[in-house]
A and B are shown apart, each in its own frame.
Chain A
Amino acid sequence: MDLDKYKKAWENQPEETHKVSKVDIYKMAHSKSSSIVKWIFIIGILEFVLLNSLYFVVDMEEAYNEYRQLGLYNFMFYSQFVLYPILFYFLIKFYLNYKSISVVDSTKTLMDKIIKTRKTVKYYVLFNLLYVFIFGVIVSIATLKTHPEFNSKQILVSIIITIVVLIIMVIILWCFYQLLYGILLRKLNKNYKELAKLEELN
């Protein structure tokens, strides 16, 4: 079968009967976008803000006293000098990636850039989860040190419980995160795979 007759029908199709007027085009052009790029930006910023606002919720004075008792004050104090540059690095990278997204690019480049922007936040969240995990382990070890009366069996059990609880926490957060972006990017990921499939074969 030939597609020619269909192509001819396509070429002869009439213009849209309900033309959009200039006034409506103007109104539309100045309305708010609801594209996924915009959502990725909003959610990304929210993630940065939420992860960092925890410091304001926690009573830092009290927390530092606690760390002092555990002998972790110096560790906590100096780790900030590592954490903030990392946070800024991710924020800047996220912003630059976001700015580079252009609908005028080719379809594949556009998708690449959207996925890259999302990945920056993904790595940031991953970094935070890892930090929470390591931090949790360090705090529990320090806590155990302040209880010399524990025998080795008790110590082992406490360490295992701590690790299991931390792993479950991290998994729950990770699932929530995947779900959030999974819903947002389902269509894009599917199309990206479809477009990239051929290239993989070559």
Chain B
Amino acid sequence: MEKELENKFLDDFEANQNIVHKVCRIYTTNQDAHNDLFQEITIQLWKNYSKFRGDAKFSTWMYRVALNTAISLYRKSTRTIQTQDITEYSFKIKAEDYDDTEELQLKALYSAIRKLNDIDKALIFLYLEDKSYREISDTLGISEVNARVKMNRAKDKLKKVLNP
């Protein structure tokens, strides 16, 4: 039973790990910290996986745990588990049809988001991930009206950083 749950978790996690990478990219600035936060989020996801019921999508649940860990639980630590292959930190894209301007925009976007405070980061991240205000207010635990107001302010801040 435990083994079955574990396998299901590994499948779900592996398929959705990009969400966690994106959260780590906006909340940390170097690869060590990225790995460390990634690890803490993994621990929290696994610890709570048995309580995860299929009534929500795994990815929705993952957003919440990942953001909560980054915002409230994570402390810098020195522990590192040797992982096989995460090395340099970059958004380099190898696909041939990839648009160069978009790559630059993406870089600018990441560095602008990193300048925001932790809550604004979460708001902007959920906006970029195309989440509804309902989901955003649920995830953060504030009313929908407040989520809208806060979102507008966060967007204004982001625009200012992007275009000073």
Report Cα–Cα, A198/B41, bound state, in Å: 28
0 or 1 for each of B53-95: is its CB under 8 Å from A? (1 = yes): 0000000010011011101111101010101111100011111
Q: Would you mind naming 26 contact pairs between A and B with Cβ atoms under 8 Å apart?
A: A3-B159, A5-B105, A9-B103, A10-B106, A13-B91, A13-B106, A15-B18, A18-B87, A19-B14, A22-B14, A27-B83, A31-B43, A33-B43, A34-B77, A34-B79, A35-B74, A103-B73, A104-B48, A104-B61, A105-B68, A105-B141, A106-B139, A107-B67, A107-B71, A191-B117, A199-B142
On whether the beta carbons of A27 and B81 are closer than 8 Å, the reply is yes
Q: Which secondary structure dominates chain B's binding surface?
A: helix
On whether the beta carbons of A188 and B72 are closer than 8 Å, the reply is yes
Report Cα–Cα, A184/B74, bound state, in Å: 10
Closest 3 CB pairs of A and B: A106-B141, A108-B141, A29-B46
Confirm or deny: A78 has a beta carbon within 8 angstroms of a beta carbon on chain B: no
Nearest Cβ on chain A to B17's Cβ, whole angstroms? 6
Confirm or deny: B32 has a beta carbon within 8 angstroms of a beta carbon on chain A: no
On whether the beta carbons of B158 and A21 are closer than 8 Å, the reply is no
Among B108, B122, B146, point to the contact of A198 (Cβ < 8 A). B146
Confirm or deny: A147 has a beta carbon within 8 angstroms of a beta carbon on chain B: no
Find the residue from B98, B119, B146 having the highest chain A CB count within 10 A: B119
Nearest Cβ on chain A to B92's Cβ, whole angstroms? 7
Confirm or deny: B128 has a beta carbon within 8 angstroms of a beta carbon on chain A: yes
Chain A interfacial positions (CB closer than 8 Å to B): 1, 3, 5-37, 39, 102-111, 114, 184, 187-188, 190-191, 194-195, 198-199, 202
Nearest Cβ on chain B to A119's Cβ, whole angstroms? 16
On whether the beta carbons of A31 and B39 are closer than 8 Å, the reply is yes
Nearest Cβ on chain B to A168's Cβ, whole angstroms? 32
Nearest chain-A residue to B159 (Cβ)? A1
Number of A-B residue pairs at CB separation under 8 A: 177
On whether the beta carbons of A14 and B95 are closer than 8 Å, the reply is yes
Chain B interfacial positions (CB closer than 8 Å to A): 6, 9-10, 13-14, 17-18, 21, 38-40, 42-48, 51-52, 61, 64-65, 67-69, 71-75, 77, 79, 81, 83-87, 91-95, 98-99, 102-103, 105-106, 108-109, 117-120, 122, 127-128, 130, 138-142, 146, 149-150, 155, 158-159, 162-163
Nearest Cβ on chain B to A200's Cβ, whole angstroms? 11
Asked if A14 meets B75 with Cβ closer than 8 Å, knowing A29-B42, A31-B43, A33-B40, the reply is: no
